[in-house]
Structure 1
């Protein structure tokens, strides 16, 4: 299915009135509506416990049926306009299937369950991100010729899904080991003092502390060959947009979250400040990868901007090993790795010496294969 999507949508000229846009809308809404209906049917298995108290079943049910109607109508339009009938038909069938699932009992019935998939987190994050960043990239595009469905978007969607559905798996390899290793050295008195500070102050402290660790982890990923083989996957995209932020190897996710969680654990920040930080970094990471032309002449030295991070992803020689900070460019200034010239980068991706395969699975096994070849 993903291969057919790539062949039909990636790097193809989308013409007005051709039915391709309506086919994409029908397929996208059909998939999301089906997943949402499954969340209603199996809430204990598929939804995130922390989010459940925030949900209003009536509103969500109304949104679900509205999405099904829009998706089905889009499929009909594509069927009438697109010479390739299969995508419009597939969209109609997916939305009809979602409607069939939702026609039964979809009132959520929660009970305690330790294991869950977090499918609702994936749906909400993808939907909100798409609604915010797709229009932003259309109206304020840095590269106007870059297509919405550019090459590699299917691979990046898979990364997006994996990183959001694998919350428990990532926690098992990051938060739990950190707690086991360092719990004996935690200071309750210190924690109480830190968590009693104003939330805004805690939020700023988290940014300063975590970004210091992130800077050196990121820099090590570029300098240590075995780590670069992992991190190079993130740099393999030749296009920068909101989806490019998702292309991160699972080993890198584990390392970043494990090391990033350690200072949070020791400092004892309040849950509210930690959640605010997590929400901020989720959308900030997407924003700095987005295909937007915002430059922020003065603010760009205070907080990392798309211009700042795009230079980090550039394959041009002047940009190699520059701009490692995730949030605070001051660290790059202090450690002499900052690079923000007046002009914008033109090329992205890894250098000619690093060849990254295409596809989600091939990129997951790439670091191991590369190591094996070196040892042979």
Structure 2
């Protein structure tokens, strides 16, 4: 009971904090000026926010912990000692570059492999982008993404506490690049990610590019960088997909035949 109360307090505090940070930014530097705070499907994305904070974040951290323990059995002590003997700044650069490389290709594969896309398209089903829409993710998709992002840190022997800090930072960054904000960075846009880049990734065309995470450098290197001067006309996906939280959680897990059978039964 006490743990549930603490989770609810933490979720409420996080919601207030993120609202106070991002809503003013979206009002002062809007990417889509006509978009309202309480726009269409706002309640659905609120369900995703609450689901992440009250249900799934703990599952993600447990999965990450088990993944790290499993890796420990395959990584030699000598390897990790050689890594830790390097200067801290060099370790940080290695982690960032390797992480961005892995998540770039892992993300790009999500758009190509149907099994991965069935979970990832939950995130892309959002037809409006803002700080709240960033939370629209299937938990299994989150585990895949968080595992890839933190794989270099796990291989190098970073403690779970350090990983929690990395997860929190990338979480804030993910919220920022989904926010309804457009800020010109000039030439820095080739080194530092921005909402204008990720918005084009959410274009209704499934392979619109911009798969990188913190820095767009990988997109520049591998030819998937795009940054038009305007916002995409439409976000979302072209496929038929449930419009409610439970449906979006369940459909990716079930085989197509079982899902269609459930839909037929429901329609009778």
Q: After TM superposition, is the score higher than 0.5?
A: yes
Helix, strand or coil for the counterpart of 1:234?
A: helix
Taking structure 2 as the reference length, what is the TM-score of the superposition?
0.86
Q: Give the corresponding residue for 2:184.
A: 295
Q: Give the corresponding residue for 2:253.
A: 368
Q: Does 1:167 align with 2:52?
A: no
Task: Check conservation: 2:150, 2:163, Cα contact below 8 A.
Answer: no
Q: Give the corresponding residue for 2:265.
A: none
Helix, strand or coil for the counterpart of 2:17?
A: helix
State the structure with bigger RCO (CA 8 A, min sep 6), 1 or 2: 2
Q: Give the corresponding residue for 1:134.
A: 23
Task: Check conservation: 2:200, 2:208, Cα contact below 8 A.
Answer: no
Which residues of 2 match residues 231-310 of structure 1 at below 5 A? Answer: 231-269=120-158, 274-310=163-199
Give 1:356 deviation, angstroms. 1.7
Q: Give the corresponding residue for 1:59.
A: none
Q: Does 1:345 align with 2:252?
A: no
Give 1:273 deviation, angstroms. 5.2
Q: Give the corresponding residue for 2:264.
A: none
Gaps of 5+ in 2: 262-268
Give 1:301 deviation, angstroms. 0.8
C-alpha separation between the residues in 2 aligned to 1:209 and 1:372?
39
Q: Which has the larger radius of gyration?
A: 1
- 1:147-205 deviations in whole A, cap 9, x for unaligned? 101111111111112222233222333321x1342212223344345446565544433
Residue 117 of structure 2, aligned match among 198, 222, 228:
228
Residue 330 of structure 1, aligned match among 198, 207, 217:
217
Give 1:221 deviation, angstroms. 1.0
Taking structure 1 as the reference length, what is the TM-score of the superposition?
0.63
Task: Check conservation: 1:175, 1:258, Cα contact below 8 A.
Answer: no
Helix, strand or coil for the counterpart of 1:339?
A: coil
Give 1:300 deviation, angstroms. 1.2
- What stretches of structure 1 move > 4 A for 4+ residues in a row? 195-201, 270-273, 373-376
* TM-aligned CA distance change 1:252 to 1:272, over 3 Å: closer
* Root-mean-square deviation over aligned CA pairs: 2.6
Task: Check conservation: 2:202, 2:208, Cα contact below 8 A.
Answer: no
Task: Check conservation: 2:202, 2:235, Cα contact below 8 A.
Answer: yes
Q: Does 1:355 align with 2:240?
A: yes
C-alpha separation between the residues in 1 aligned to 2:254 and 2:82?
48
Task: Check conservation: 1:311, 1:340, Cα contact below 8 A.
Answer: yes
Q: Give the corresponding residue for 2:266.
A: none
Task: Check conservation: 1:211, 1:325, Cα contact below 8 A.
Answer: yes
Task: Check conservation: 2:123, 2:138, Cα contact below 8 A.
Answer: yes
* TM-aligned CA distance change 1:298 to 1:148, over 3 Å: same
Task: Check conservation: 2:124, 2:202, Cα contact below 8 A.
Answer: yes
Helix, strand or coil for the counterpart of 2:251?
A: helix
Gaps of 5+ in 1: 1-37, 48-117
- 1:16-56 deviations in whole A, cap 9, x for unaligned? xxxxxxxxxxxxxxxxxxxxxx8xxx3x5644xxxxxxxxx
